Amino acid sequence: MNSETVRSLGDVSETMLLTLYARAMESQSPNPILVDEKAVELFNRLKPLAAEQEGNLYHKVVEGDLPDLLKYTMSLRARHFDRQARDFLQRHPDGAVVNLGCGLDTRFFRLDDGRLHLYDLDLPDVIALKRQLVKETDRYQMIASSVLDFGWMDELVRERPYLFLAEGLFMYLPLADVKALVLELQDRFPGCELVCEVFNESWLHGWRGRIMKRKLQNDMSMGSDAMFQSGIADSEAMAQWRSGIEFVDDWSFVDADEPKLGVLRLMRHWSMFRKLQWVVHYRLNEPT
Ligand SMILES: C[S@@+](CC[C@H](N)C(=O)[O-])C[C@H]1O[C@@H](n2cnc3c(N)ncnc32)[C@H](O)[C@@H]1O
């Protein structure tokens, strides 16, 4: 593995280092929200390469100069997606999980029960790096493609029950692309389920948009291309896109009642905060 593999990452892809950092650090803290030894291993292997890179995000990750809240929220989010996947696999023991925009997430290792099938999909640069860090097997495969080049779907066996996960992905894509993707999944894999993180559209523009931009660029040191591009108004929004799309449930990190969140937990009673950035679960049935 060399420094060039890390240097070639784009602004959006670089953000996967923030979430890896969060899971690795939280795993080593007292009363961890999530225990992810593989994330700790990957983070320790990448740290020397990250230290050679230019850019604030790398420096902050290497020096651990990031808000504690990042560790908590990203770990709670990962734990929620894990729980959704376990629940799906209990209902569909022959099913498979597809992690869209997987970054350096190590969900396969957190969930593997000896029969799990999981696909990790991300842009070619990210998968090239990930392939140097973790091995594929017959039950764990990586797909190097944009999620928007639908040819990747040909690699999946049609008849299988699928759960598609999109954790920290949709907000970086234009809404028209997210919609085209969801409708394509519904067409190709009727009955599949989608658990996706979404952003609130009312925080994309105007003064709210400026606050978000400042938060992402200053607090998180994210690059200028790693800006949120899309959002929805409420959890039911995607269910309006076409018949057959069914809203199942939603979740926000404040629902977790996690003591590490302190007074922030009270925010679960304030809908505008609860649904600033949250996770929605849909079933994509055949259109009627
Ligand atoms: C914030 S990171 C989240 C990574 C991972 N899901 C996690 O929670 O740690 C966003 C990820 O989306 C990926 N991504 C962005 N645009 C993509 C696209 N068009 N196709 C596939 N992956 C994409 C990036 O490369 C990056 O790995």
In 167-188, which positions are buried (b, 16+ CB within 10 angstroms) versus exposed (e)?
Answer: bbbbbbbebebbbebbbebbee
99 and 24 part of one domain: no
User: What pLDDT is attached to residue 2?
Assistant: 67
Closest Cα to atom 8 of ligand 1: 167
Tokens of 48: 């020397």
Distance CA 284, CA 193 (A): 6
Choose the residue to mutate in 123, 196, 229 for probing ligand 1, maximizing ligand atoms within 8 Å of C-beta.
Answer: 123
Which segments of the chain have a pLDDT < 70? Answer: 1-2
User: What pLDDT is attached to residue 53?
Assistant: 86
Instruction: Indicate whether 75 belongs to any domain.
Output: no
Tally of structural domains, the chain = 2
What does the pLDDT look like over 233-248, one tens digit per residue? 999 999 999 999 999 9
Of 45, 69, 93, the last residue of a domain is 69
CA of residue 257 to ligand 1 center, whole Å: 27
Q: Is 106 in the pocket of ligand 1 (CB under 6 A)?
A: no
CA of residue 12 to ligand 1 center, whole Å: 7
21 and 126 part of one domain: no
Q: Is 277 in the pocket of ligand 1 (CB under 6 A)?
A: no
173 and 243 part of one domain: yes
Distance CA 139, CA 117 (A): 5
Closest Cα to atom 26 of ligand 1: 13
- For ligand 1, what atom is nearest to the CA of residue 165? 6
Distance CA 213, CA 228 (A): 8
Instruction: Using DSSP, state whether 248 is helix, strand or coil.
Output: strand
Q: Is 69 in the pocket of ligand 1 (CB under 6 A)?
A: no
User: What pLDDT is attached to residue 159?
Assistant: 85
CA of residue 167 to ligand 1 center, whole Å: 8
- Eight-state DSSP code of residue 225: T
Choose the residue to mutate in 18, 36, 71, 122 for probing ligand 1, maximizing ligand atoms within 8 Å of C-beta.
Answer: 122
Place of tokens 């670089």: 14
User: What pLDDT is attached to residue 216?
Assistant: 76
Instruction: Indicate whether 158 belongs to any domain.
Output: yes
57 and 88 part of one domain: no
- Eight-state DSSP code of residue 287: P
Residue-range definition of the domain harbouring residue 13: 3-69
Q: Is 19 in the pocket of ligand 1 (CB under 6 A)?
A: yes
Contact residues for 277 (Cβ-Cβ < 8 A; gap 6+): 171, 197, 198, 199, 200, 252
Contact residues for 30 (Cβ-Cβ < 8 A; gap 6+): none
Asked if residues 144 and 128 have their Cβ atoms less than 8 Å apart, the reply is: yes
User: What pLDDT is attached to residue 25?
Assistant: 97
CA of residue 152 to ligand 1 center, whole Å: 15
The residue count of the chain comes to: 288
59 and 90 part of one domain: no
Closest Cα to atom 13 of ligand 1: 101
62 and 87 part of one domain: no
129 and 254 part of one domain: yes
152 and 28 part of one domain: no
